[in-house]
Each structure stands twice: as C-alpha cells, then as structure tokens.
Structure 1
Amino acid sequence: MKKYLVFLGLFIIILAGCSPNDEQSLEKDPSTVQQEQEQQVEQQEQQEQEGLQEVDTNDATVSEKSQEPTEVEKVEDLTIEVSAFEMGYDPDKITLVVGKEYELVLTNDGKIFHDLTESNLEVEITYMSEMADHSDELSFIDQFFGIQTVYADEGHDKKKDDEMNNIHMNANAGQTVSIKFIPKETGEFEFYCTVPGHKEAGMVGEFIVES
C-alpha cells in the first residue's frame, strides 16, 4: 500500500510537472518580448525611411523636370547683312531657301561707290530702300592706273530691276541700303559689282538657293 501511494505520488508530481500552465504558456520571456518590440520598431523605422526616400526621389525628379529649360521656339533670322569694300564682299557666299522672304542689307564699308548685282536669279522684290545713283567717280582700280572717269553698267535702274525681278543695289561710301525679296528658283548664282574693273579685281560672291 505504501508503495502504491509512493508511485501514485510520483505519478502526480510527474503529471503536474508535464502539464502546461495556461497562464505560463501565454507568458514570454521578458528579454524575448523586448527583442521582438525592438525588431518591430526597427522595421517601422526602415519602412518610414524607405517611404521618405521614395518621396525625396519623386521630389527630385519633379525638381529636375522643373529646372529643365523650356524649349523656346526659335525664330529664323532672315536678315542678311553684307559688307562691300575694295574689292570684295563679306560674306561672299550666301545660302537661301526658295520661297522664303529675305531682307538683304548692304553696307558700303569702302571709300568709293559699290553695288551688288545678280541678274540671273529670279526673285520677287517686295521692298527696296532708296538707292544711290551710279557714281561717276573713278573706281579704285581706275584711280590706281590713272584711267579716266568710268560709269557703272548702264541699264541697272530701280524700275528696270523691279520689272526684271533681279537683285541690284547701289551704295555710296558709308551708306547702307536694303531690299526684301523672295527667291523663286534653286541653284547657284553669282553676284558682283558692276563698276568696271571691280568684278575683274575679285569683287564677286555667290547666292546658293536650296529647296
């Protein structure tokens, strides 16, 4: 009987030690709970940082876009300025596009009369400023060689040039004149000074008209 009671007591003790206590099973080690809480805090902070970085990236992208220069519509410059001098033009090659209206501004930076003439290119003259009359002064070349007074090619007057739809511009020393015109055909066309001896001395240039 005593042995039986002893075995029974041992069995109860063992059974009590093995049976989980509901409250103890729900309880966690304080250090474990603290670690879990710290991990949760770290995860929340990491998520918040990632969110802030994404916002910063978006803001930076928007800022970069806002700083990008806006495209300004480019206005094509259709004014061509040409300097005439002894003995040449600057520039001496001028590129045009057929059908566009240009303003050609000729300044005589030389010391004697010069003109600019192109008699083969068909153009529509839309404007012409006041021009100097052809000079009866000696050209630079003529003065150098002691030749008598010469005149520029006859027949180039404003009315006739308007009718022919060709380019012809006269300018005394220091004078600036201008015309507006529309090229009507493509190709390469020589312009020159009609004062005798000037073309021969190299006072020539070229219009290059493209489509």
Structure 2
Amino acid sequence: MDIIQKGIYLTGTVLVTIGLLAGCGSSKESAPEKDKPVEETKQQQTEQQKDKSIASEEAKNDNVIEISAFEMGYTPPSVTLEEGKKYTLVLKNDGKIFHDLTAKKLDVKITNMGKMPDHPEKMSFLDEIDNIFGVNKVHASGNHDDGHGEVEMNYIHMNAKSGQTVKIKFIPQETGEFKFFCSVPGHEEAGMHGGIEVE
C-alpha cells in the first residue's frame, strides 16, 4: 500500500510540473506584443494614422464615389453629383460573375480611365443570337487613355471581373436624372440598375 501511494504522489507531482511548464511556455508565445519595443508599436500606430488621414484627404479632394456591383444590383443604388465637379468613380465587383456599370445618356468628360477587362466573348445565349444577326456591342476594354490623360468616350462604361476593382475620373457636363445599368444581357432586366442625379 505504501508503494502505491508513493507512485500516485510521484505521478501527480510529475503531471502538475508538466502542466506548469506548459502554461509558462504558452504565456510567452501568446503575448508577443509585450516583447515588442514600445517605440516600434508607437511608430506603427503613427504610420497607420498618417495613411488614414492621407486616404481621407484624397477622398475629399477627388470626390470619390464607391459603387459595389453584385448579383443583381448595385450598392448604393443611386448617387448625387454636381455639374462641373471632378469625381473618381470606383466600381468594385463583389459578385461571382462579370458585371459592368453603364450610363450612356449622362454626358461626361472622362479625364482618366484605368485598365479594364474585355467583356467575356460568350456570356449568354442572347450574345449568340446577336452574333447570328451581326449585332456588334461596344464595351469598355483595355486602357482607353490616349496617353495625355484624356479619354474619347463621353459617357460612363466600366467593366469588372469578379473580385476586381476599377475606376475612372470624370466631370459631369449636364444636370438631370440619369440611369446606370449593367449591360450584360439579362442583368438590367433582373434589376441591376440605379440612378445618378446631377445638380
């Protein structure tokens, strides 16, 4: 009986010691921030604050408008602009398929357009019918910048693959209410449209 009690006591002591050592080892690993020098942490915070203030200042100066495309709509569904003011329109495709944003009736002066992907050659059965009858569709593709920051288009048309973000810079040339939509066959009809009001 005495040997059994000593064995239990020894086993318990070994287990407690292992537990304490494991606990001490994990506390060092779980708190790496305490090991960092205070100056380094402060410097990172200062750099992050500078980046945020620069981004917000750029957003104020550029009048950035962000629109998200998804199946089947846009967020926000409408925007208000001022005639003659410079804007940067950022389109982010949060959907799983190819989308675009088109506002053909809004007269704009495009000052810069980023590189955009071509519309996929086969997007739907409707495209096949158009090909049979010889209907040609015009879509934004590639880089439309003529090398001097000016773009020949006088309306908005942006393409984005799933997960892609594209942008253009433009100046609205007229006041009124205008529609924007996705020109991929069937998307506008499924509810993928919104409005632009220019004051």
Task: Tell me the TM-score range normalised by the shorter chain.
Answer: 0.5 to 0.7
Q: What secondary structure, in the 3-state scheme, does the structure 2 residue paired with 1:163 have?
A: coil
Partner of 2:105: 120
The alpha carbon displacement at 1:155 in A equals 1.6
- 2:84, 2:173 within 8 Å by CA — same for their partners in 1? yes
Once residues 189 and 178 of structure 2 are traced to their aligned partners in structure 1, the CA distance between those partners, rounded to angstroms, is 17
Once residues 176 and 110 of structure 1 are traced to their aligned partners in structure 2, the CA distance between those partners, rounded to angstroms, is 11
- 2:126, 2:185 within 8 Å by CA — same for their partners in 1? no
Q: 1:126 to 1:76 in 2, by over 3 A?
A: closer
Identity of aligned residues (%): 58
Structure 2 residue ranges without an equivalent (≥5): 1-59, 131-135, 145-150
Pair 1:185 & 2:174 matched: yes
Pair 1:101 & 2:89 matched: no
- 2:109, 2:173 within 8 Å by CA — same for their partners in 1? yes
Q: What secondary structure, in the 3-state scheme, does the structure 2 residue paired with 1:132 have?
A: coil
Once residues 163 and 93 of structure 2 are traced to their aligned partners in structure 1, the CA distance between those partners, rounded to angstroms, is 5
Per the normalisation by structure 1, the TM-score is 0.56
Q: In structure 2, which of residues 69, 90, 94 is the aligned counterpart of residue 84 of structure 1?
A: 69
- 2:83, 2:173 within 8 Å by CA — same for their partners in 1? yes
Partner of 1:170: 159
Amino acid at match of 1:156: H
The alpha carbon displacement at 1:103 in A equals 0.3
Amino acid at match of 2:186: G
Select the structure of larger CA radius of gyration: 1
Once residues 135 and 148 of structure 1 are traced to their aligned partners in structure 2, the CA distance between those partners, rounded to angstroms, is 13
Partner of 2:137: 154
Partner of 2:185: 196
Q: 1:76 to 1:148 in 2, by over 3 A?
A: closer
The alpha carbon displacement at 1:137 in A equals 4.8
Q: What secondary structure, in the 3-state scheme, does the structure 1 residue paired with 2:137 have?
A: coil
Q: 1:77 to 1:127 in 2, by over 3 A?
A: closer
Partner of 1:17: none
Once residues 181 and 148 of structure 1 are traced to their aligned partners in structure 2, the CA distance between those partners, rounded to angstroms, is 32
1:132-178 per-residue CA deviation (whole Å, 9 max, x = no partner) reads 1002354xxx6xxxx57668x7123355xx43410000000000000
The alpha carbon displacement at 1:204 in A equals 0.1
Q: 1:148 to 1:123 in 2, by over 3 A?
A: closer
Once residues 84 and 128 of structure 1 are traced to their aligned partners in structure 2, the CA distance between those partners, rounded to angstroms, is 18
Partner of 1:59: none
Once residues 132 and 104 of structure 1 are traced to their aligned partners in structure 2, the CA distance between those partners, rounded to angstroms, is 17
Q: RMSD over aligned Cα, in angstroms?
A: 2.8
**How many equivalent residue pairs?**
130
Q: In structure 2, which of residues 187, 195, 198 is the aligned counterpart of residue 206 of structure 1?
A: 195
Q: What secondary structure, in the 3-state scheme, does the structure 2 residue paired with 1:168 have?
A: strand
Once residues 157 and 85 of structure 1 are traced to their aligned partners in structure 2, the CA distance between those partners, rounded to angstroms, is 19
1:60-109 per-residue CA deviation (whole Å, 9 max, x = no partner) reads xxxxxxxxxxxxxxx56610011000000001101000010000000000
